Structure 1
Amino acid sequence: MSKTISTFTRQEDNNNVWLSKPNTNDFNITDYGITPTVLNTEAEVGQAMLNELYKTAEAKEGDINIALLGGRGAQQLHRLLGELAKSNEQDALLARLNVFTQDALAPMGMANGFSFVRDFERILGDAFFKKIKSFTPMQTDTQDLESALIDYLTKLENLGGLDIFFIGHGPEAQQASHLAYIKPFSGAQYHHVAGIIPISSSILEHHISKFKAGGSVVSGSDEQECRAAEYILTLGPAAILQAKKIVQSVVDADSAPAKVETYANVLNTTFNPNPKEALQQLNANPGLWIRLHPNAKSFVLTNLGV
């Protein structure tokens, strides 16, 4: 079943809802591979990510549109940005930033301590959000999640799309992985810009334990509301492929050892030359989407074993 909402097409696959723009182009797979840059510390990874932002700022004029990465992978980058915001050193750069989130649990109050927005505010700090041009999170506190997501996507499109998609790498069963929160077998296709995916109890447990370990300020009522979340909102493959640059970071293989095998699988999988078969590979292991982007950087630590 599909129908048009605004200028987006809605497609449903096994309770996964995907939004896309009209697209008549055939899917032609071009595998650019991925060459990880191995660094020694999380601080070095954060600096490398910041350097990519500097390069983009030097290469273009006007606004810079970025998607923030939640969780451990970008915390050092966020700390660096927060420190810069406390000074006047990079005020001109910060004033050019249109900042977007890339995924969220829903429904959930925007003030919930388990929200990525709260975690961003905690680490980036008030000065950062006062100095940037705009901040657009995915809205999770509305009964009409689809319309709110379309409003978010419309703003991103009107601004010209993402200049940098800061992205992570999440482990999944069967040595698969997710990007943003594009889950295996969720039906994500190359033209899907964003999706609304049913959530699993295992994801909720992982999310809650990750936030508690990371030092987030949460309450019992926050946890209760978080455990009642039913969906994941996520940017989709089209948002990844259309971003001008992908900057990936993978820094927590010590605490998430499954990433050693799942990242290796992304590096070493051979795509089937048949496009339909290749799409099945991408559906089973969405972490592979990064290999189809011509301008992707992947910063990792030595504990990933590559």
Structure 2
Amino acid sequence: MNKINSPFTRDEDNSNVWLSQKSDQEFNFTDYGITPVVHGSEAEVGQAMLNELYSTAASKEGDINITLLGGRGAQELHRLLGELANSTHQDQLLARLNVFTQDALAPLSMNNGFSFVRDFERILGDAFFKKIKSFTPMRTDTKDLESSLTGYLTRLEALGGLDIFFIGHGPEENQASHLAYIKPFSGAKNHHIAGVIPISSSILEHHINKFKAGGSPVNESDEKECRSAEYILTLGPAAILQAKKVVQSVVDADSAPAKIQTYANVLTTKLSTDKDQALQQLNANPGLWIRLHPNTKSFVLPNLEI
């Protein structure tokens, strides 16, 4: 990766590169906990997520900035949005949407079947992308990943940040978890808005398996290129915590049973009131970052066994 001049502060921690916005504001380490809402089916979770979008649309004027959640977690939401785009019922709402991706494997061709962008296009459909106001993916087809990520962040900042961060929950070793692709022990801190971090074999396997389980049309060539990815581009804790609303969905515990315990750990682990100790907890288990957002919905299925 190239080191560049950037409007963002750059931190490097054991090959993990994190970008930050300059701010003198003291961060409030308040643990708000999580209150999961159990739904009976993925379809119900998708509708609940859509209802959160409707609620945001009703409560504000103008543009609505959202991140799309990749993989299985939001497929039902995306199917519903695709159906709306093929009608005229919500054209005014769709025309207000500035849509962002939240993470990506890189380097990777943008037309690779394991790219989130291709999966979004498959489920959301052409009509959705024609009707929304804008779509800003993380570019994964460039050698200068930091520069590309800086351009992405500059656009997100210019639009006023995220109204809804649609987010998932990924299992990690030692019963830990990730949000977006904030990996355990990657050094992510509360002021880091995005990062470029080295990839691991466990992430590659999880990514490939969830795409196959989700029905993505992939081939041997795509998988070979995907397995050669070296980095993860990801939004960081600051992007999550600065979003006006966080909407989590966890629907695939049947195909990813490790989530049963890793989600339970996030649900029951209380963050220390000591800032340094809390940062250590968050570094070891980044899934805990969601506990620090005061406006979070967590939609789950009964297969999480909570």
What TM bracket, shorter-length normalisation? Answer: over 0.9
* Residue 23 (structure 1) shift: 2.3
Tell me the residue number matched to 1:184: 184
**Residue 102 (structure 2) pairs with residue 102 (structure 1):** yes
> Quick check: 2:4–2:147 contact (8 Å CA) kept in 1?
no
Q: Which amino acid aligns with 2:253?
A: A
**Residue 18 (structure 2) pairs with residue 18 (structure 1):** yes
> Quick check: 2:31–2:270 contact (8 Å CA) kept in 1?
no
Tell me the residue number matched to 1:273: 273
Deviations 1:247-268 (A, max 9, x none): 0000011111111111111111
Distance 2:297 2:266 in 1: 14
> Quick check: 1:28–1:275 contact (8 Å CA) kept in 2?
no
Distance 1:205 1:291 in 2: 27
Percentage identity across paired residues of the two chains: 79
Q: Which amino acid aligns with 1:91?
A: D
Deviations 1:178-216 (A, max 9, x none): 000000000000000000010012211221222222221
Q: Which amino acid aligns with 1:145?
A: L
Deviations 1:12-54 (A, max 9, x none): 0000000001123333311111100011000000000000000
Q: Which amino acid aligns with 2:156?
A: L
Tell me the residue number matched to 1:70: 70
Distance 1:64 1:25 in 2: 25
Tell me the residue number matched to 2:92: 92
> Quick check: 1:176–1:285 contact (8 Å CA) kept in 2?
yes
Tell me the residue number matched to 1:292: 292
* Residue 114 (structure 1) shift: 0.7
Q: Which amino acid aligns with 2:109?
A: G
* Residue 273 (structure 1) shift: 1.5
Distance 1:7 1:297 in 2: 32
Deviations 1:94-136 (A, max 9, x none): 0000000000000011011110000000000000001000000
Distance 2:247 2:90 in 1: 20
> Quick check: 1:4–1:10 contact (8 Å CA) kept in 2?
no
Secondary structure in 1 matching 2:49 = helix
> Quick check: 1:45–1:299 contact (8 Å CA) kept in 2?
yes
> Quick check: 2:30–2:292 contact (8 Å CA) kept in 1?
yes
What TM-score does the superposition give when structure 2 sets the normalisation length? 0.97
Q: Which amino acid aligns with 2:82?
A: G
* Residue 174 (structure 1) shift: 1.3
Distance 1:263 1:223 in 2: 28
Distance 1:48 1:215 in 2: 22
Unaligned 5+ segments in structure 1 are: none
Distance 2:144 2:27 in 1: 31
Secondary structure in 1 matching 2:76 = helix
> Quick check: 1:27–1:275 contact (8 Å CA) kept in 2?
no
> Quick check: 1:37–1:299 contact (8 Å CA) kept in 2?
yes
Secondary structure in 2 matching 1:194 = strand
Tell me the residue number matched to 1:193: 193
C-alpha root-mean-square deviation of aligned residues, in Å?
1.1
What TM-score does the superposition give when structure 1 sets the normalisation length? 0.97
Distance 1:164 1:200 in 2: 28
Distance 1:7 1:51 in 2: 36
The number of aligned residues is 304
